[in-house]
Amino acid sequence: MHDVREATDGDVPRCAKLLEILFSKEHEFSADIETQSRALSMIIGNPALGRIFVGEIDGKIEGMVMLLFTVSTFLGQKVALLEDMVVTPEWQGKGLGSQLINHAIGFAEKEGFGRITLLTDRDNDGAQHFYQLKGFSKSEMVVFRKMLD
């Protein structure tokens, strides 16, 4: 069993490095440590925006997952967007990812959230299988984005 806890300001540099690992595998994103550090600090500094959970092994952060908060008018309650689920390559397949996502789901349930939504690359079969094992199902919704300056 690994330690999972809420991230603090002191965790920002390590979490930014984890995002570098994640973004190196994604098609639409590329890493920028300064930008990611600024975003992580925004979330940690304002818990109304969301929570970042980190998984530590022997005192070193080896994984993270983030929940960002909003409201669903359909459900009439708070909902969360699961973002930036990442475990270092050497710890993948050893239970840390499961522990992180279970912690995030438990937090959302305890706090009265009605749904967790996530996005993953269409061709990332491993991630899709993992999320399905954790109770997530594919949506018929299609993602659109508009980048703003």
Q: Which amino acid is at 60?
A: K
Q: For residue 26, is pLDDT > 70?
A: no
- Token output for 67: 């929940």
Count of beta carbons in the 10 Å neighbourhood of residue 87? 23
Interatomic CA distance for residues 9 and 11, integer angstroms: 5
pTM for the model stands at 0.92
Domains, the chain, ordered by start: 3-133 (3.40.630.30)
What is the per-residue pLDDT across 36-74, written as a single tens digit (0 to 9) for each? 999 999 999 999 999 999 999 999 999 999 999 999 999
* Phi, psi (rounded to 5 degrees) for 64: -155, 160
